[in-house]
Amino acid sequence: MKVLLIGSGGREHALAWALSASPLLTTLYCAPGNAGIAQVAECVPIAAMDFDRLVGFAKEKKIDFVVIAPDNPLVGGLWDRFEAEGIRASGPSGKGAILEGSKGFVKDLCREVGIPTAAYQRFRDAASAKAFADTLGLPVVIKADGLALGKGVIIAETKADAAKAIDFMFEGGFGESGSEVVVEEFMQGEEASFFALSDGETVLPLGGAQDHKRAFDGDKGPNTGGMGAYSPAPVLPPSLQQVAMDKFINPTVAAMAERGRSYQGVLYLGLMITKDGPKLVEYNCRFGDPECQVLMPRLKSDLLTTLIAMRDGQLHNLDLRWSDETALTVVMASKGYPGAYEKGTEIRNLDAAAAVEGVQIFHAGTERRDGRLLAVGGRVLNVTALGKDVAEAQARAYKAVDLINWPGGFCRRDIGWRALSR
């Protein structure tokens, strides 16, 4: 089969790596890809939002299956575009992707179905949003309804900051995404991610993972796209995973079907484990980044077969197999990330690092120029290791990190600390 993967980050490298092991695969293309993905796929310089050229390319190459990894094209309806041309693709559809595309939609769905989540209201004007925010305690959470490059959530510590955030959103700070705003109660607890695949009827759990969103050790510093992750995550023992399926995922998939939005795709549930039990923080319509980088090394079943079964409504025929080992990934980022950073710094000695036992390095923002490997993004590498437990996976990952010669980069030194301190 000829497969086209869409995206360019560490998540996509992990997917490309898993897809390339499939006995069904003849050729793997990736648009636009990166220097790491180029080791296992033919990269095509077409952006993930350039729907016309992506569809044109898929028709020209007679692509059999498309894997759409990032949120923006899914929410924008790229799945629908491919399927309209008779090209099978892993979804969800644009109608399904509203689970990530509208925070207000998800909150209403939770309320109607009885899924535990923070108290909230939706607003279309600043004055009423501020009035409601005033009735909640502090901190208070202000969210742009739509996609905002992962920046659309502001946790306001004071009433003045809450008002500022509300004004910023309604004044177009996040463009159209902020024309509606959700104001919600702050939830205290430990966060965890849970993943599942849905074909619209059958739902297969993929297990849990824990991300590290802050830039620096000890969960300090600004929020990032994620600085490291591990799976399985002790914060989500099997009993809580069952709760995630029974109280969150299954009711959501059923409610989506009832609303004419049959959900066929990856479902990423962001949970807050509060003292009153798990509550929904958000849904995403895709694999997490970097969570995907720790799920793929543990998946023993064929990813391509699995995604095709998800597309075709055949998940009831599958029984996924998983490694018992723990996977842990350390994100290496350009110094300055998530703020401004230098582009084009050179990375050396990756081969030695990749040779450490159990280690797999997934690239995020890299480019190869004149034989040199250059960092061209904020998050640049995912140094991933399997081990018998979090401690072993962590030791292996940092052993590899320490072999990488990249003066322009930095990473957190404490990925996995919550699991190790339990």
> Where along the sequence are the contacts to ligand AMP (CB under 6 A)?
118, 141, 153, 184, 186-187, 191, 213, 270, 281-282
Q: Which of 198, 231, 284, 382 binds ligand GLY (CB under 6 A)?
A: 284
For CA atoms 241, 244, 246, 250, the dihedral sign is negative
Give the x/- contact pattern for ligand GLY in 219-248, rule: CB under 6 A. -------x----------------------
List, edge to edge, every strand of the sheet that includes 140-144.
120-123, 181-185, 140-144, 153-156
Q: What angle do CA 173, 178, 183 make, to 5 degrees?
A: 115
Cβ nearer to ligand GLY, comparing 262 with 334: 334
What residue 186 binds from ligand AMP, ligand GLY, none (CB within 5 to 8 A, per partner kind)? ligand AMP
What residue 161 binds from ligand AMP, ligand GLY, none (CB within 5 to 8 A, per partner kind)? none
Q: Cβ of residue 354: shortest distance to ligand AMP, in angstroms?
A: 30
Cβ within 8 Å of residue 152, ≥6 positions away: 103, 143, 144, 146, 169, 174, 177, 178
Q: Which of 289, 294, 366, 403 binds ligand GLY (CB under 6 A)?
A: 289
**Token code pair at residue 47:** 């952006």
Do β-strands 153-156 and 140-144 pair in parallel, antiparallel, or remain unpaired?
Answer: antiparallel
Q: Cβ of residue 86: shortest distance to ligand GLY, in angstroms?
A: 31
Q: Cβ of residue 272: shortest distance to ligand AMP, in angstroms?
A: 6
CA distance 127 to 53: 43
12 contributes a contact to ligand GLY by CB under 6 A: no
What residue 288 binds from ligand GLY, ligand AMP, none (CB within 5 to 8 A, per partner kind)? ligand GLY
CA distance 195 to 210: 11
Q: Cβ of residue 183: shortest distance to ligand AMP, in angstroms?
A: 10
Cβ within 8 Å of residue 56, ≥6 positions away: none
Name the phi and psi angles at 357, rounded to 5.
-55, 130
User: Of the listed pieces 174-182, 286-294, 333-341, 372-380, which binds ligand GLY according to CB under 6 A?
Assistant: 286-294
288 contributes a contact to ligand GLY by CB under 6 A: yes
User: Of the listed pieces 57-65, 284-292, 388-396, 410-418, which binds ligand GLY according to CB under 6 A?
Assistant: 284-292
- Report the SS3 class of residue 410: strand
Q: Which of 145, 180, 184, 291 binds ligand GLY (CB under 6 A)?
A: 291
Residues constituting the chain? 422
CA distance 213 to 367: 25
Q: Which residues bind ligand GLY (CB under 6 A)?
A: 211, 226, 284, 288-289, 291
